[in-house]
Structure 1
Amino acid sequence: MNEENRILFLRKELEKYSIEYYVYDNPSVSDQEYDRLMQELMTLEEKHPEMYDANSPSQRIIGQVLEGFEKVRHDSQMLSLGNVFNYEEIEEFVNRIQGSVKDVEFVVECKYDGLAMSLIYENGSFVRAVTRGDGLVGEDVSANIKTIQSIPMHIPERRHVEVRGEVYMPKKSFEELNERQKKNNQALFANPRNAAAGSIRQLDSGVCASRKLDAYWYYFQNAQDFGILTQQEALDRMRSLNFKVNPLYKVCKNTKEIWEFIQSIQEKRNDLPYEIDGMVIKLNSLSDQRTLGSTAKVPRYATAYKFPAERVQTRLLDIVITVGRTGKITPNAVLEPVRIAGTTVSAAQLHNEDMILSKDLRINDIVVVQKAGEIIPEVVSSVKERRDGSQVPYVYPTHCPVCGSRLVRLEGEAAHYCINQDCPARVVESMIHFASRDAMDIDTLGDKKIEQLHEFGFLNSIEDIYFLHEHREELLEKRGYQKKSVDKMLETIETSKKQPLALLLYGLGIRQVGKKAAAILANYFGSMDALMKADVDTLVSINDIGPITAQSIVEFFKDESNQKLIQTLKEQGLNMIQEKQEIKASRFTNKTVVLTGTLEHYTRNEAKEILENLGANVSGSVSKKTDYVIYGTAAGSKLTKAQNLGVATMSEEEFVEEVENAQSS
């Protein structure tokens, strides 16, 4: 066998071994043998560059660096699913289907907490992988998808094939990734879904490969081209083509069978090696699916049952106090580590003294903990009946735990504050906030770096950041500070001087001035000087700036130390002006809008900024005064509340269309 034929043989064998291992969990060769053959293939391919094949097994581990992701229009829309939350809502869905279809059957499958994806094959070879995007247009992420070992690069079918499914990060991969992040002093990922989505959008596919993603496939887009009649047959056919299909599904005939199967999966949910956040219920007959069709938003033949928020019990070991940049005192629960919704939780914010008292939380209590929105750990209540006499009521501190100053509770507020401007905790937190991504975006100055530079004596105030270059030689003498990293840090500090005035205002940490208020102020006044001269009456006259915020702004700029800070930042060349941004008239102008669910076309902050530029007031909660609720995938209680209140709802696809119309007008 010559070397060219040996390359072709090795590629075929290695792909077969990968399918055995990653899809069927039934390897026929050892890891050592697989690695030996892979090394042989890579050596031969290096000798024969004319034999390059983008779908070779070797390309999965080499990776490449991309410049960006190409936009791709889907042949048919990738729809999102509506949600049901209890037995009655499932029964209502089933009854509605039975009113239109005879002899109905449903397939109930796991709903993965991952990233929706489409795979396309031609002539038996992988062509492209495209994210869901807005359902109509996604991004070509083929280079990163190739790094997922369970996805075949060749299939035993030469006709056009498109399958859809979910890319996810297994629990084990997630834990390993966060362990690496922790060792490297990098931010931890909140959950496997975020980690998977972030990995797929890496421009360096080598990074994606290191994250060890996986995928399940559950939808055969062009099944009718193959004479497939049911969803069950489609799953079987995809499996025969070597796609990884989850065996945890069941064909059911009525609500009772559906509910029993859902309960059985929910019981074993925590033992699964991947995260699921619900179950998908869909008609088995593909012809009946086509008959029922879809709305502009969701298919009529399928829905998703969302698991209720997972609640667990653990022990409250302690309550510790942290001091924020504004001096705000925050109590935090120290918990005996417990696993909830895919991650290990050992802490939760308790917000203020009133919350501790209202929930009657005591040290050594057994407490009920859940993840609000499946993300943020929350102490729900204490379990009083499990008290054994060892519990100790918590005494709220009267003095700052860092500087010892007496704490103050301001009128009309639930929080306590340390009002000592020189409190070390306030100093460090204010610099961390100033350098954060949402403010001046100095990404080389992370939390740990700022704390360390403060300990060295180089950073004792915000303005010190812009004098750090004077300590360059001293920094190079410190352990862990190399020339390349120090120069990059100083370069990003210099670049931050060009940030818009709105972000500088937000970074200054003025009490009551968040990102939205900072943007309004920068756009209204156009310069730092004009804002500094504003009085309370002028500020209150501005839409969305209330009297408390106005008073806080005036007091901030009256303070001599803050005036000196602004003057120093001016002298260091920071941008102090902002061109006024024209608000485009749209259907969102002067409307209150709520965003909910996972958006795939924009980040949440991007969507919020777009809406504000279109004249909307973006709120975090739904009420009768809400005009629109814009929802993405996995939308939950906010969408349900909007529907119950009769508030207008808008899918992400409709939102994208509105934005495009507004921007082109």
Structure 2
Amino acid sequence: MSDPDLPDVPRDRAAARARHDQLAPVLRDARYRYYVLSDPPMTDAEFDLLWRELLALEEAHPTLATSTSPTAEVGAPVDSAFPPHRHLEPMLSLDNVFSREDLAAWRERAAGPLDDDPRWVCELKIDGVAISLTYVDGVLATAATRGDGVTGETVTQQVLTLDDVPYRLVGDDADIPSLVEVRGEIYYPLEAFEAMNAERVEAGEAAFANPRNAASGALRQKDPAVTATRPLSLWIHGMGALQLGGTAPDPEDPDAGEATPDPTDEALGSGPGAAAFATHAGFLDWCARVGLPVAAETLVTDDADEVWDFVDHWTTHRHEPTYEIDGVVVKVDDLAQRRQLGSTSRAPRWAIAYKMPPIEATTLLRDIEINTGRTGRVTPFAVVEPVTVSGVTITYATLHNEIQVHAKDVRIGDTVSVRRAGDVIPEVVGPVLSERPDDARTWHMPAECPSCGTPLVRPEGEAHHFCENVDCPNRILESLSHFGGRKALDIEGLGYKTAKLLLDEGLVADLADVFALDRRREDLLALEGWKEKSVDNLLAGIDRARAQPLDRLLVGLNIRHLGPTVAKLLARSFGDMSALATASVEDMAAIDGIGPVIAEAVASFFAIDRNRELVDKMRDLGMRMTAEEEATTSDVLDGLSIVVTGTLEGFSRTEAKDAIESRGGKATSSVSGRTSAVVVGDSPGSKADKARDLDVPILDEAQFVELLDSGTLPT
């Protein structure tokens, strides 16, 4: 089938060979930098396009498909810094398809030689680091990376630091083979990855480009203690060598692989645990039974249409899992049928990877500009040639701070990689150095705020520059928008557009003026496009906001480093605004969970006369200045970790989180074996399915309300 994205393949053999000679070293170098250095020189989409062109050249001119072509290789050579490990069964790569038509064509080819129609297993393609774990008599003997598919790097001690990796398999001896190689993917959970990158940016360190690179770098730390500080996780999705009984070979013996039975050998028809390995689905069930983590988002089906429905669903919902995915892997379930189909030198014929549209693309960096935010933080952002990533046109992308710009060596005029993953703000990953023009310009932070002309400062020990003018026009705009947001006072109708309109029309000049808008109802009605209902809704939202507790107001004041959790701690500790405003740095820093950096930021805020005047003005206009009543909080959920998914009738997502945390519980966004309960509302996502698979208690809204009162999980 022709590929419309590829250039025409030259008919002339000499021209085809010349192009092949161009592509081969580029792809070989890209694979080495991806697998070994964790520093890919191009996006996955760019690599895939060049790879498909190389395959097309070899298909049209078969003599180009030599044993030294990149298409005959798997992975990349190992790094000599780690002991080599020869896999008992090779770790092959997967061939890729990029369309429904090509996926259907592959299914027909796979089913063609088989006597019976195959059953299919569909799994999410985790964008992580391939790993092989060898268990001998149920005990982990070796963990190794893919390497070149035959020989990988031994990283056993590093892998043993992962909570998900069992040192010893659980279950009856009859259920544990003498030897088994299990294959999977080590990955960085997205929530942990984003938190780590935020901390690195805040500290002035270079952010990791993506979760896959971060996982690879963490796994290949020479000191396992460093790996242990990174919250890596594991999913198992395949099997290599297997021996059901007898004396297992030494996995470190260089000749062991020659004597090890194929995992689909006829011997699987008998012996301990044999029935579990007749199918891939059975193997996954066995993994879960003996303590190996298996992803819940897996489908086993006889229906070819359901295969595409699975692909289509997860392409649309690719950002719902707690880990990053870049495709769907479709496999033949029956192991005997797999043996019949066999493999090429680099990929099995019984499995294929459907690659989703990329979340990275390259484009031209036209300029770097800066924005002054609500706390005065000045953030550089890239102005790029518009490019479509994951169905969204990207024109701007964050660069975090000046240190990040220089650490990434991003220059105006560069071709850069832009990444967009889910709801995360698009960011510039880095430059494509091979395409850097001679006139590319290094960028430096300007001396003054572009919004108000105030000199910018970079406090000692901080990575960011700040505009310290509390009346900076752009700062006030950003502050006002945040003030009405859900995490602050939750004022319906007071979003960014409304905030800008109110400022432009002179109806407000600072945050406190919001509470005087009820005196300007006629002025609001005179605004273009505003009707009586919209004005009344805004004023009603403002009136409700007056009763919000102290912690919500503190968040709305846009104090540096102060988020909802810390605001609750301060509010509970001091009780009212006056006590907090006069508290010393030492008094605040003494509170468990509040360090000197946050304490200094809060004290500095209240040391500014203009800020104290603002708070007094709010008090005079009726804003509440006290914390929640102590009776409404407790520690009944202390030690419990709760996940909320779907829509609840009586709680917004923020209100549910607040209800959990105010009772001493932990509100988390991902489901694991350590989750205490999952609260399920209308239209839940995959978290509910994962909870069922992990036997985590599932609560409806009524049970959630009961839990908030009693702290006792239903039996």
2:239 corresponds in structure 1 to 95
1:436 corresponds in structure 2 to 485
Q: Hey, what's the Cα distance between the residues in 2 that align with 1:620 and 1:387? A: 41
2:475 corresponds in structure 1 to 426
Query: Does structure 1 conserve the Cα–Cα contact (< 8 Å) formed by 2:488 and 2:555?
Result: yes
Query: Does structure 1 conserve the Cα–Cα contact (< 8 Å) formed by 2:492 and 2:537?
Result: no
Structure 1 residues 520 and 565: alpha-carbon distance in aligned structure 2, compared to 1, 3 A threshold: same
Query: Does structure 2 conserve the Cα–Cα contact (< 8 Å) formed by 1:454 and 1:460?
Result: yes
Correspondent of 2:696 among 643, 653, 665: 653
Q: Hey, what's the Cα distance between the residues in 1 that align with 2:423 and 2:506? A: 40
Query: Does structure 1 conserve the Cα–Cα contact (< 8 Å) formed by 2:415 and 2:436?
Result: yes
* Counterpart residue identity of residue 279, structure 2: V
1:555 corresponds in structure 2 to 604
Q: Hey, what's the Cα distance between the residues in 1 that align with 2:451 and 2:694? A: 48
* Counterpart residue identity of residue 696, structure 2: E
Deviation at residue 549 of structure 1 after TM alignment: 1.3
Deviation at residue 339 of structure 1 after TM alignment: 2.1
* Counterpart residue identity of residue 473, structure 1: E
1:27 corresponds in structure 2 to none
Deviation at residue 431 of structure 1 after TM alignment: 1.4
- Structure 1 stretches lacking a partner, 5+ long: 1-79, 108-134, 136-164, 166-217, 220-229, 240-244, 251-264, 270-274, 286-301, 640-649
TM-score by length of 1: 0.52
2:155 is equivalent to residue 104 of structure 1: no
Q: Hey, what's the Cα distance between the residues in 1 that align with 2:545 and 2:501? A: 21
Deviation at residue 313 of structure 1 after TM alignment: 1.2
* Counterpart residue identity of residue 653, structure 1: V
2:615 is equivalent to residue 566 of structure 1: yes
Correspondent of 1:361 among 410, 425, 431: 410
Q: Hey, what's the Cα distance between the residues in 1 that align with 2:123 and 2:307? A: 19
Deviation at residue 277 of structure 1 after TM alignment: 5.3
SS in 1 for 2:362: strand
| Most deviating of 509-518 and 409-418 | 509-518
SS in 2 for 1:521: helix
Q: Hey, what's the Cα distance between the residues in 1 that align with 2:590 and 2:514? A: 35
SS in 1 for 2:388: strand
Structure 1 residues 410 and 308: alpha-carbon distance in aligned structure 2, compared to 1, 3 A threshold: farther
SS in 2 for 1:472: helix
Structure 1 residues 620 and 403: alpha-carbon distance in aligned structure 2, compared to 1, 3 A threshold: farther
2:450 is equivalent to residue 401 of structure 1: yes
* Counterpart residue identity of residue 342, structure 1: G
Structure 1 residues 594 and 493: alpha-carbon distance in aligned structure 2, compared to 1, 3 A threshold: closer
1:89-136 residue CA offsets vs partner (Å, 9 max, x unmatched):
4696342896544653779xxxxxxxxxxxxxxxxxxxxxxxxxxx9x
Correspondent of 1:412 among 422, 446, 461: 461
* Counterpart residue identity of residue 588, structure 1: G
Structure 1 residues 306 and 605: alpha-carbon distance in aligned structure 2, compared to 1, 3 A threshold: farther
1:350 corresponds in structure 2 to 399
Structure 1 residues 360 and 104: alpha-carbon distance in aligned structure 2, compared to 1, 3 A threshold: same
Q: Hey, what's the Cα distance between the residues in 2 that align with 1:359 and 1:385? A: 14
1:503-525 residue CA offsets vs partner (Å, 9 max, x unmatched):
11110112221111111111222
Query: Does structure 2 conserve the Cα–Cα contact (< 8 Å) formed by 1:372 and 1:378?
Result: no
SS in 2 for 1:481: coil
* Counterpart residue identity of residue 104, structure 1: T
Let me know the Cα RMSD of the aligned residues: 4.7
- Counterpart mapping for 1:146-157 below 5 A: none
1:571-617 residue CA offsets vs partner (Å, 9 max, x unmatched):
2221222213544255627xxx798xx94478875675455335357
Correspondent of 1:231 among 301, 322, 330: 301
Correspondent of 1:584 among 635, 658, 662: 635
Correspondent of 2:547 among 498, 501, 504: 498
Q: Hey, what's the Cα distance between the residues in 1 that align with 2:310 and 2:546? A: 56
SS in 2 for 1:408: coil
* Counterpart residue identity of residue 405, structure 2: I
Correspondent of 1:456 among 497, 500, 505: 505
SS in 2 for 1:588: coil
Correspondent of 1:447 among 465, 485, 496: 496
Deviation at residue 444 of structure 1 after TM alignment: 1.1
1:358-386 residue CA offsets vs partner (Å, 9 max, x unmatched):
11111121111223467442211101111
1:513 corresponds in structure 2 to 562
Q: Hey, what's the Cα distance between the residues in 2 that align with 1:340 and 1:630? A: 36
SS in 2 for 1:448: helix
1:229-255 residue CA offsets vs partner (Å, 9 max, x unmatched):
x821xx37xx7xxxxx565789xxxxx
1:603-643 residue CA offsets vs partner (Å, 9 max, x unmatched):
87567545533535779999xxx9879999779xxx9xxxx
Structure 1 residues 231 and 551: alpha-carbon distance in aligned structure 2, compared to 1, 3 A threshold: closer
Deviation at residue 276 of structure 1 after TM alignment: 8.9
Query: Does structure 1 conserve the Cα–Cα contact (< 8 Å) formed by 2:456 and 2:465?
Result: yes
2:380 corresponds in structure 1 to 331
Deviation at residue 471 of structure 1 after TM alignment: 2.3
Structure 1 residues 247 and 621: alpha-carbon distance in aligned structure 2, compared to 1, 3 A threshold: closer
1:380 corresponds in structure 2 to 429
* Counterpart residue identity of residue 543, structure 2: E
Q: Hey, what's the Cα distance between the residues in 2 that align with 1:326 and 1:499? A: 21
SS in 2 for 1:362: coil
- Counterpart mapping for 1:123-138 below 5 A: none
Equivalenced residue count is: 404
Percent of residue pairs identical: 34
Q: Hey, what's the Cα distance between the residues in 2 that align with 1:601 and 1:652? A: 22
* Counterpart residue identity of residue 531, structure 2: Q
Structure 1 residues 445 and 633: alpha-carbon distance in aligned structure 2, compared to 1, 3 A threshold: closer
1:455-497 residue CA offsets vs partner (Å, 9 max, x unmatched):
1111110111111222222333332222232222222211211
Query: Does structure 1 conserve the Cα–Cα contact (< 8 Å) formed by 2:635 and 2:665?
Result: no
* Counterpart residue identity of residue 380, structure 2: P
- Counterpart mapping for 1:121-200 below 5 A: none
1:536-576 residue CA offsets vs partner (Å, 9 max, x unmatched):
22111111111121122222223222222222212222122
SS in 1 for 2:457: strand
SS in 2 for 1:367: strand
Deviation at residue 664 of structure 1 after TM alignment: 4.0
Structure 1 residues 379 and 654: alpha-carbon distance in aligned structure 2, compared to 1, 3 A threshold: farther
SS in 2 for 1:317: strand
Deviation at residue 661 of structure 1 after TM alignment: 6.0
1:423-456 residue CA offsets vs partner (Å, 9 max, x unmatched):
1111222211111121111121111111111111
Structure 1 residues 425 and 345: alpha-carbon distance in aligned structure 2, compared to 1, 3 A threshold: same
Structure 1 residues 586 and 371: alpha-carbon distance in aligned structure 2, compared to 1, 3 A threshold: same
SS in 1 for 2:513: helix
Correspondent of 2:573 among 505, 524, 548: 524
SS in 1 for 2:239: helix
Q: Hey, what's the Cα distance between the residues in 2 that align with 1:616 and 1:630? A: 11
1:314 corresponds in structure 2 to 363
Query: Does structure 1 conserve the Cα–Cα contact (< 8 Å) formed by 2:410 and 2:430?
Result: yes
* Counterpart residue identity of residue 237, structure 2: F
TM-score by length of 2: 0.49
Query: Does structure 1 conserve the Cα–Cα contact (< 8 Å) formed by 2:459 and 2:465?
Result: yes
Deviation at residue 419 of structure 1 after TM alignment: 0.9
Structure 1 residues 502 and 338: alpha-carbon distance in aligned structure 2, compared to 1, 3 A threshold: same
* Counterpart residue identity of residue 457, structure 1: G
Deviation at residue 401 of structure 1 after TM alignment: 0.5
* Counterpart residue identity of residue 512, structure 2: E
- Structure 2 stretches lacking a partner, 5+ long: 1-121, 132-182, 186-235, 241-262, 265-273, 283-295, 319-323, 335-350, 679-683
